[in-house]
Amino acid sequence: MWGDVTENFTKALPKAELHAHLTGSISPECLHEVWKRKRSSPAGSQLEDPLSACRPEAEHHDILSFFPVFDKYIYNLCNDTESVAFATEQVLKEFEADGVKYLELRTTPRESLENGMTKEVYVQTVLDTIAKHGKEVLSTYLILSIDRRNTLEQAMETVRLAIKYQDKGVVGIDLCGNPLKGDVTTFREAFKLAKAHNLRLTLHFAEVPQSSTEVELQTLLSYQPDRLGHVIHTTPAIEAEISSRKLGLELCLSCNVHAKMLPGGKREFTDHHFANWYGQSNAIALCTDDVGIFGSPISNEYFLAAWHFNLSRYDLVELCRGAVESIFGGEREKQRLYSLLDEFEKICDNAEAAP
Ligand code: IMP
Ligand code: ZN
């Protein structure tokens, strides 16, 4: 009745995407469009075509080559409100076309003062684009990211912006950026302020061995996060804490495998720690992280999970249901997603109409 898991099926699944960096989600084709528009300007002519600059084989990305793609290239290309709005709209369209019904997009407020873009204008531009896109099919919320390289003052500025735009769809704060940089103790006051204003908290957690010391992980847990991203280089004691708090987990299969982030340089999808957490009491959300860089849309992440961990169509629907538990968008959105999943299940029960 339910049949094999196919790509059509994982595309049709009503999915929630909870860990997607806006700039990392821009496709090379969209960047190419921005580049074509700017090519004739003096600044644009300095930049290489993104179709060659941003599409080195995904497998070649690792922690050293990955972050400079943003700092040295994409931020220089998408550096004004027009390109940020255009890229954001394309990103929303692509998630929607991939069957995403609920999206928490995250982004680091950034400025380009020579183009009249302050951090606040950047956030307003992203929020306006989300509002223009509408909520009929895809419901989108925003998480503002603090970069590990930030000072406390910069982090506080991000939290203040999040508070100011909470009623326009900002639901949380994230800590991201190169895990080899920064000191996470810097941000205690910023996270405290966010929590005091009912913003939810998600943290990049245990991405590489250097950012996975007991002290760092305990410090991050002391900030009372609601969800954790990646959660790779953990210890049994840390895992026990994550389990007992039932923290939501944002797991990114392709990103972790292609960027060679798994312990001991393991390279197989079957080595991914999804296998350890699946079936436990933590809500798991499969996520893309940076679909523009790794090239694997979320429908493909569900397909990969089915393929490598032997999950059925029914298991995937349940996995999607589990992800809903940890969304930041509130009870109404949860009920909307549960209804969509119920409807989808009914369609699957009717073999004729099944995707
Ligand atoms: P933005 O915040 O929308 O500009 O998205 C790009 C930014 O997200 C990068 O500059 C990084 O700070 C962050 N980012 C993207 N992927 C990762 C990741 O895998 N780990 C940590 N930070 C990341
Ligand atoms: Zn991330």
Statement: residue 1 has pLDDT above 50: no
- pLDDT tens-digit readout, 4-29: 999 999 999 999 999 999 999 999 99
**Amino acid at the residue 175:** L
pLDDT at 301: 98
- pLDDT tens-digit readout, 237-273: 999 999 999 999 999 999 999 999 999 988 899 999 9
Q: What percent of the chain has pLDDT over 90?
A: 86
SS3 content of the chain, % helix, strand, coil (to 5): 55, 15, 30
Give residue 144's pLDDT band: very low, low, confident or very high (50, 70, 90): very high
Chain centre to alpha carbon of residue 34: 22
Q: For residue 255, which atom of ligand 1 is closest to its CA?
A: 19
What's the CA-to-centroid distance between 20 and ligand 1, angstroms?
9
Q: For strands 248-251 and 284-286, give the pairing.
A: parallel
Give residue 355's pLDDT band: very low, low, confident or very high (50, 70, 90): confident
Q: At what angle do helices 331-349 and 313-324 cross, to 10 degrees?
A: 170
Catalytic residue from among 17, 94, 207, 250 = 207
What's the CA-to-centroid distance between 24 and ligand 1, angstroms?
7
pLDDT at 59: 53
Statement: residue 68 has pLDDT above 80: yes
pLDDT at 353: 66
Rounded distance, CA 144 to CA 291, Å? Answer: 18
In the CATH hierarchy, which fold is given to the domain comprising 7-353? TIM Barrel (3.20.20)
Could you tell me if the CB of 202 is within 6 A of ligand 1? no
The ligand placed nearest to the CA atom of residue 123 is: 1
170-176: strand order across its sheet: 15-21, 100-107, 139-147, 170-176, 200-205, 227-230, 248-251, 284-286
What's the CA-to-centroid distance between 326 and ligand 1, angstroms?
21
> Domain locations in the chain?
7-353
Mean pLDDT of 297-317: 97
Could you tell me if the CB of 157 is within 6 A of ligand 1? no
Neighbour count for residue 243 (Cβ, 10 Å): 13
- Does the annotation mark 207 as catalytic? yes
Residue 282 contacts residue 247 (beta carbons within 8 Å): yes
Determine the residue of 69, 71, 104, 108 to mutate for testing ligand 1's pocket, defined as the one with the most ligand atoms within 8 A of the Cβ atom: 108
Q: Rounded to the nearest 10 degrees, how much is the dihedral formed by the CA atoms of 230, 236, 237, 240? A: 70
pLDDT at 81: 98
Give this prediction's pTM.
0.97
- pLDDT tens-digit readout, 165-222: 999 999 999 999 999 999 999 999 999 999 999 999 999 999 999 999 999 999 999 9
Could you tell me if the CB of 129 is within 6 A of ligand 1? no
Mean pLDDT of the chain: 94
